[in-house]
Amino acid sequence: MGTRIGVAVMAAVFALYIWLLGGRAIALIGTGDAIAVVMGSAMIVFPIIGAWALGRELWFGWRADRLARRLERDGLLPDDEVELTPSGRVVRSDADAAFPAYRAAVESAPDDWRAWFRLSVAYDAAGDRRRARHAARTAIRLERRTA
């Protein structure tokens, strides 16, 4: 629940930023001065790109959370016993030891979204966020195909 509140606060702050920046951009365009119009036009592009990126990340998070809840409900989330550091992070060697089983599951069933999502969780536990996101996106895509 804390993560959702954090995401909501960040989204609200970012929306405020977009609104304020957009207002400044319109004010610059309204001056009629050539340089101000160019600057204002450029400033409009950034909030549009930011809104797109925010929407894309929120959509990804919502879909990944939905898959995680489905796997949890079915009792299929990884439940490997791993040691935690005092800060609460997974001990890397424990994550690395559990990882091959999840990779093998994906290799044996490459069209199974559940295997891909469990691999994503294993990547995340190992600290490889880029691969975790890629595996989660693959799981989302495969789940949509089977739904």
Tokens encoding 42: 């450029």
pTM of this structure: 0.75
Contact 69, 82 (CB under 8 A): no
Q: Walk along the chain (147 residues) and give the pLDDT tens digit of each residue.
A: 677 788 889 889 988 988 888 899 999 999 999 999 999 999 988 878 888 988 898 899 999 999 999 999 998 888 766 777 787 777 777 777 777 888 999 999 999 999 999 999 888 877 788 999 999 999 999 999 886
CA distance 63 to 95: 24
Residue type, 134: H
74 is written with which tokens?
């079915």
- Residue 88 makes CB contacts below 8 A (sequence gap 6+) with none
